[in-house]
Amino acid sequence: MKAQEFPFLVAIVEITGRQQRRQCSGTLIKKRLVLTAAHCLLDYVVQNSPYDNIKVIAGSRDISHTNPDRVVYGVKNLTWHPQYKSDFGNSSFDIGVIVLDRAIERTPTVSQVDLEFRSIRGGMSSCDNKDLFWLEVIKK
């Protein structure tokens, strides 16, 4: 797999000094938004880790410090679905969003996925307020 095949895929890592630990993967859904799993984000909040230790790496499958092709973004904010609960065996609503510290610059190896928003089956009456919140976050 080459980075050009999936330019919207990113690695979510924790960097402390020269130590780097991959946490999860994500998808660039907007120029400053990464869609990932809520369970990937909870450790940072539970441990009160500062967001400056969390980085999003795009542009290459090789995320090592020595790779000149990688692009590193900081995290401005993160959130997850309000109904997510970290119960083992229950992965309902396991969705989270990272807000990057700056917009991505589109290259052959870094770009957002093309999402097309269509009307929701059953109309908006099938959504509750929490669902509408997530639709608005993703549309921005």
pLDDT beyond 60 at 120 = no
Query: What one-character DSSP code corresponds to residue 135?
Result: H
Question: What single letter denotes the amino acid at residue 25?
Answer: S
pLDDT beyond 60 at 126 = no
| Pairing relationship of beta strands 96-100 and 33-36 according to DSSP bridges | antiparallel
Domain boundaries, the chain: 9-139
pLDDT digits (tens, 9 = 90+) for 68-80: 778 889 998 888 8
Tell me how far apart the alpha carbons of residues 57 and 80 are, in angstroms, rounded to a whole number.
20
Query: What one-character DSSP code corresponds to residue 99?
Result: E
How many Cβ atoms are within 10 Å of 84's Cβ, its own excluded? 19
pLDDT beyond 70 at 57 = yes
Query: Residue 34: its pLDDT value, please?
Result: 94
Between 17 and 123, whose confidence is greater? Answer: 17
Tell me how far apart the alpha carbons of residues 68 and 37 are, in angstroms, rounded to a whole number.
28
Tell me how far apart the alpha carbons of residues 133 and 68 are, in angstroms, rounded to a whole number.
38
Query: Residue 65: its pLDDT value, please?
Result: 66
The tokens describing 11, both together, are: 């690695």
pLDDT beyond 90 at 101 = yes
Query: pLDDT band at 135, cuts 50/70/90?
Result: low
Q: Does domain 9-139 have CATH number 2.40.10.10?
A: yes
Q: How many residues does the chain have?
A: 140
Between 120 and 17, whose confidence is greater? Answer: 17
